């Protein structure tokens, strides 16, 4: 076993390399927000820096007792103003697993407040693990179950992660600033850099934006992650300049160090807006790279399948936008340009079908 100290400190972030069943390092009621994703107990092996491999599978009753112990420690350390976010996803073969985890939590005293859907992929954008194999649809979302210690005293500020009003006359009526509650579906795609290099023996890390939003929503000054994994929650804490405490029983110390100290992260504006903006940007790129002359000369094969799919996404987003007059006006020019292109595209599809070579 390791002779290194059983914790690492990176500025305001500290990670204890031990089980979170006992978090005696933390005082009662001293943490503002807890954000975590528990182990799934499905014969997952973990390996640490020294190559030690652990099979952490427990019997169902041991697993329940283990979680109950961690949740009761979470309850002890959370402040009465605090909030507790638990991310869990259903696996392909274990539908209902997430709700079974959620049910273990109130037994420790927590009150269930609501559920947030973390949408990992939307209209083809964003990575997820395919699970359908043509027998069921792929899972493209996970849950974030939200709990509080005290229904009367918990504090949150939805506007901290809000979006601008479409109808500006609502400013002043419902809120002082031009920000409104964006709701409980969060579209947070994995960035391309999050992948096997980070996982290294751990279950999938959640994107930094997930803990980032939870922390901002609660305006917290300190955060705890009892199952720190690669250190995503503490990375968000560093970016937001608050204190973070993590526990990780099977650490990859170098992965954790790099993520907490070096990982660059640029929060996106929330929900559909970034998707829209990126789509529009993509459309701009495509329209620059494919000349209209080429299209007008009926060179229907000039789009790649990728470009074609991207244009289809643009169509969906722009169609939605038509219902939002302010945004729609802004992007009207793009839309006109787009219509021109899709007409050409549709002709191309007919032609490609004719030659039995249509894009899928």
| Least Å from the CB of residue 41 to ligand SAM | 9
Candidates 229, 238, 275, 295: give the one binding ligand SAM (CB under 6 A).
Answer: 229
250 binds ligand SAM (CB under 6 A): yes
Q: Which helix (H) or strand (E) holds 65?
A: helix 60-77
Candidates 149, 180, 202, 213: give the one binding ligand SAM (CB under 6 A).
Answer: 202
73 binds ligand SAM (CB under 6 A): no
| Least Å from the CB of residue 210 to ligand SAM | 8
246 binds ligand SAM (CB under 6 A): no
| Least Å from the CB of residue 230 to ligand SAM | 3
Window contacting ligand SAM (CB under 6 A); options: 13-21, 105-113, 157-165, 286-294? 13-21
Window contacting ligand SAM (CB under 6 A); options: 102-110, 159-167, 228-236, 352-360? 228-236
Helix pair 272-289, 325-354: axis angle to 10 deg: 50
81 binds ligand SAM (CB under 6 A): no
247 binds ligand SAM (CB under 6 A): yes
Dihedral pair phi/psi, residue 78, rounded to 5°: -75, 140
The residue among 257, 255, 237, 253 whose CA lies nearest residue 245 is: 237
Candidates 15, 39, 108, 182: give the one binding ligand SAM (CB under 6 A).
Answer: 39
Candidates 13, 37, 41, 315: give the one binding ligand SAM (CB under 6 A).
Answer: 37
227 binds ligand SAM (CB under 6 A): yes
The residue among 63, 51, 39, 56 whose CA lies nearest residue 2 is: 51
Which residues, including other chains, have CB under 8 Å from residue 184's CB and lie 6 or more apart?
114, 115, 116, 117
| Least Å from the CB of residue 345 to ligand SAM | 40
16 binds ligand SAM (CB under 6 A): no
Candidates 32, 209, 248, 310: give the one binding ligand SAM (CB under 6 A).
Answer: 248
Q: DSSP assignment of 173-201, as one string?
A: TTBSSS-B---SEEE-PPPTT-SHHHHTT
Which residues, including other chains, have CB under 8 Å from residue 178's CB and lie 6 or more apart?
164, 165, 168, 171
Q: Give the length of the chain.
A: 360
Q: Are 231 and 258 in contact (CB under 8 A)?
A: no
| Least Å from the CB of residue 26 to ligand SAM | 14
Helix pair 253-262, 232-239: axis angle to 10 deg: 20
The residue among 335, 295, 341 whose CA lies nearest residue 317 is: 335
How many CB atoms within 10 Å of residue 6?
10
Candidates 249, 275, 341, 348: give the one binding ligand SAM (CB under 6 A).
Answer: 249
How many CB atoms within 10 Å of residue 345?
20
Unique residue bearing structure tokens 């083809």: 124
| DSSP state at residue 328 | H
Candidates 90, 181, 203, 340: give the one binding ligand SAM (CB under 6 A).
Answer: 203
Residue nearest to ligand SAM (CB): 229
89 binds ligand SAM (CB under 6 A): no
| Least Å from the CB of residue 273 to ligand SAM | 25
Window contacting ligand SAM (CB under 6 A); options: 108-116, 130-138, 153-161, 201-209? 201-209
199 or 282: CB nearest ligand SAM: 199
Dihedral pair phi/psi, residue 13, rounded to 5°: -105, 135
| Least Å from the CB of residue 126 to ligand SAM | 16
Where does this chain bind ligand SAM (CB under 6 A)?
19-21, 37, 39, 46, 56, 202-203, 205-206, 227, 229-230, 232, 247-250
């Amino acid at each position: 076993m390791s002779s290194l100290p059983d914790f690492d400190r990176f500025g305001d972030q500290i990670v204890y390399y031990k089980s979170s069943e006992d978090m005696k390092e933390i005082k009662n009621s001293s943490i503002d927000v807890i954000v975590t994703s528990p182990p799934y107990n499905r014969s997952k092996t973990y390996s640490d820096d020294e190559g030690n491999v652990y099979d952490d599978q427990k019997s169902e009753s041991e697993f329940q007792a283990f979680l109950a112990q961690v949740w009761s420690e979470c309850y002890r350390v959370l402040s009465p103003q605090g909030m507790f976010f638990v991310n869990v996803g259903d696996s392909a073969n274990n539908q209902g697993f997430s709700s079974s985890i959620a049910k273990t939590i109130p037994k420790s005293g927590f009150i269930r407040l609501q559920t947030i859907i973390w949408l990992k992929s939307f209209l083809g954008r964003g990575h997820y693990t395919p699970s359908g194999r043509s027998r069921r649809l792929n899972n493209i979302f996970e849950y974030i179950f939200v709990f509080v210690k005290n229904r009367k005293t918990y504090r949150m500020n939805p506007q901290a992660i809000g979006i601008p009003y479409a109808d500006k006359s609502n400013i002043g009526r419902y809120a002082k600033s031009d920000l409104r509650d964006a709701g409980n579906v969060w579209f947070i795609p994995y960035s391309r850099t999050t992948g096997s290099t980070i996982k290294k023996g751990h279950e999938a890390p959640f994107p930094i934006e997930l803990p980032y939003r939870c922390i901002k929503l609660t305006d917290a000054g300190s955060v705890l992650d009892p199952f720190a994994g690669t250190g995503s929650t503490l990375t968000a804490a560093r970016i937001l300049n608050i204190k973070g405490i993590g526990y990780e029983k099977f650490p990859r110390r170098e992965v954790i160090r790099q993520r907490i100290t070096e990982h660059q992260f640029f929060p996106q504006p929330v929900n559909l807006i970034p998707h829209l903006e990126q789509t529009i940007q993509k459309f701009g790129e495509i329209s620059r790279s494919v000349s209209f002359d080429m299209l007008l000369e009926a060179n229907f094969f000039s789009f790649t399948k990728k470009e074609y799919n991207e244009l289809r996404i643009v169509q969906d987003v722009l169609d939605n936008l038509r219902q939002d007059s302010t945004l729609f006006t802004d992007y009207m020019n793009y839309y006109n340009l787009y219509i021109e292109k899709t007409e050409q595209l549709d002709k191309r599809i007919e032609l490609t079908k004719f030659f039995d070579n249509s894009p899928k």
